[in-house]
A and B are shown apart, each in its own frame.
Chain A
């Protein structure tokens, strides 16, 4: 099966780096954007984005919440996962968007995405019933 493509919209470079790594380890293909304007351009230029995972507060003219509404309008089938350090009232979100408080753990992100895509997450690799790993790939 082809890899599902996630568009990651996050302005903090280190968070973007680690989140990209964790998504790729879990078998997704990741496209990165540093702000909403870049994200929109990417969405306009390709049609294989399965989900957008976006921060809310970012530099640029459009924040992540407005971005998510714009995406729901223009590209309805794209799944939406929105994150922030603040809580956001639920009525501010577009339909069927999921919200994750920062800081989020890898498990939370992967669970939210697998819920959105509608599949059971891949079982993790274990040792002694206590997981030492995140994601599908055992750390070597």
Chain B
């Protein structure tokens, strides 16, 4: 046969070669849905003998698994110019083989005026991708469930501890011991309030203002009889910190608030306790102030109780300095964290004056 070197022949051969060599499974069809050319990738993906494809009706390919009424009518509509096939999904069902999920795209090729109708049909096998996506969804859902279970377990555990403390408080005769147990109960509830914040926050960070407000509401509800007489308010900024930092800050707030409630307003004295937190960059200041009785004349007469040790230990852990100031009237206890950048020969964080 004479070599086909006319421009038309060369053009046609190029087009056929393009189809045949396509990396993505591709079929070139005529208006009767007969195969003009099939890519090697199509034939190996779907176990079709490439030698037998030329001129074969699409519906006759393989063992008839491509004879799908809806596909045929969509392709006919494409050939007639009414539509293109855009992401049509179908299952390829073959005997003795697992079902494959396919995504098909087809369009009528615009290539020459008045020329034969040609349709390019590309086929993607998305079976494996779909399985992976479903597996990922299942795993994410499992993770959510486990996380919920964990939150539930922690809440229950904290409730158990709180219950044990309250039960002990009921049983003891000594007023002093009972007070200690109630204080311990408040400390546990401070950790519990944090847990609840964490359960609703997505990233494990804690917004301090709502956390402190919840904390103070809890302490106030059980320790303040008349909220018109003693008010407990939170004026913090929008700072957000990690769970670890929040736990320590919350415990400090609990200690300082309980202390103020116990000592600042003897008798029927009324007043206000203010919890404030503000941060700028890495620096922050936490303060709990009251307008009550003020510090005792002789500082040595103020016994350092457990609460003081807790505040000191936590402040140190947070790299903060404690300052106690006379507020005239009242007292203000602040924990100040000032970040000192590392310079040669100097130590880092925390305690600048």
Q: Which residues of A approach B to under 8 Å, CB–CB?
A: 12, 14-15, 17-19, 21-22, 25, 57, 84-87, 101-108, 111, 123-124, 126, 128-132, 134, 139-140
**Given contacts A104-B159, A130-B261, could you give 12 more A-B pairs where the C-beta distance is less than 8 Å?**
A14-B160, A14-B164, A17-B163, A85-B151, A86-B148, A102-B158, A105-B162, A106-B222, A108-B221, A126-B225, A129-B225, A134-B222
How far does the Cβ of A140 sit from chain B's closest Cβ, in whole Å? 7
Indicate if the CB atoms of A57 and B221 lie closer than 8 Å. no
CA distance A139 to B180 in the complex (A): 14
In the complex, which of the residues A14, A19, A22, A102 has the most CB atoms of chain B within 10 Å of its own CB atom?
A: A102
Indicate if the CB atoms of B160 and A15 lie closer than 8 Å. yes
Chain-A contact segment, one of B15-23, B166-174, B299-307, B332-340: B166-174
A contact residues around B199 at 8 Å (CB):
86-87
B143 close to A (CB within 8 Å):
no
A contact residues around B265 at 8 Å (CB):
128-130
B contact residues around A107 at 8 Å (CB):
221-222
Main SS class of interface, B: helix
| Interface residues in B, total, Cβ within 8 A | 44
CA distance A121 to B175 in the complex (A): 24
A contact residues around B153 at 8 Å (CB):
85
Indicate if the CB atoms of B189 and A130 lie closer than 8 Å. no
B contact residues around A103 at 8 Å (CB):
155, 158-159, 162, 188-189, 192
A contact residues around B148 at 8 Å (CB):
86
Top-4 shortest CB links A-B: A85-B155, A18-B163, A103-B159, A85-B152
CA distance A21 to B166 in the complex (A): 9
Indicate if the CB atoms of B159 and A12 lie closer than 8 Å. yes
In the complex, which of the residues A25, A123, A134 has the most CB atoms of chain B within 10 Å of its own CB atom?
A: A134
CA distance A131 to B227 in the complex (A): 12
CA distance A104 to B152 in the complex (A): 13
B contact residues around A101 at 8 Å (CB):
155, 196
Indicate if the CB atoms of B178 and A139 lie closer than 8 Å. yes
How far does the Cβ of B264 sit from chain A's closest Cβ, in whole Å? 10
B154 close to A (CB within 8 Å):
yes
B239 close to A (CB within 8 Å):
no
* CB nearest to B269 among chain A residues: A129
Indicate if the CB atoms of B151 and A86 lie closer than 8 Å. yes
Contact with A106, one of B155, B160, B166, B225 (Cβ below 8 angstroms): B166
A contact residues around B296 at 8 Å (CB):
none
B268 close to A (CB within 8 Å):
yes
CA distance A123 to B224 in the complex (A): 12
A contact residues around B222 at 8 Å (CB):
105-107, 131, 134
In the complex, which of the residues A17, A25, A123 has the most CB atoms of chain B within 10 Å of its own CB atom?
A: A17
Contact A84:B152 (CB < 8 A) given known A105-B221, A129-B224: yes
CA distance A110 to B225 in the complex (A): 15
B contact residues around A22 at 8 Å (CB):
166
